[in-house]
Amino acid sequence: MKTRIAIVTMLIALFIAGTAMANELVPATKAASKAVTELLVDEIDYPAFASENNIECCVVVSVTVQDDGTLNVEAANCKSCDMKDHVVKAITETKSEDLAQYAGQNVLLKVNFKLLD
């Protein structure tokens, strides 16, 4: 009986410790999403290699705003690795002290690349 109580107590302690230390992303507010989007519209351009090769695609990116106003790319997905790398590089090079107020918030972005006729 004492062994069962000890095992149950250990399992409860492990569960509490595991959930207490879990680092869950905080979803962005509308203001944070808007601020990040407006900043990145000017920073991400249509790359020359994509227009030369008629590449059209969509890059989905999850970024977290850091304390210093930089953006940390948590995940990115696209059918074209070159386009994904282009977007990730542009985002990681972007910094704005105005974003520091949204530190810790996670923003989901969808960057569409379409060629104009």
Residue 16 has pLDDT above 80, yes or no: no
Lowest mean pLDDT among 2-6, 40-44, 46-50, 110-114: 2-6
Lowest mean pLDDT among 28-37, 49-58, 66-75: 28-37
Reported as a single tens digit per residue, the pLDDT across 4-13 is 777 777 777 7
Residue 64 has pLDDT above 80, yes or no: yes
* Neighbouring C-beta atoms of residue 28, cutoff 10 Å: 21
Q: Residue 62 contacts by C-beta under 8 Å, 6 or more apart in sequence?
A: 73, 74, 75, 76, 106, 107, 108, 109
Q: How far apart are CA 78 and CA 62, in angstroms?
A: 12
The ranges assigned to domains in the chain are 25-113
Q: Out of 1.10.287, 3.40.720, 3.30.2420, 3.30.420, select the CATH number for domain 25-113.
A: 3.30.2420
pLDDT of residue 17: 63
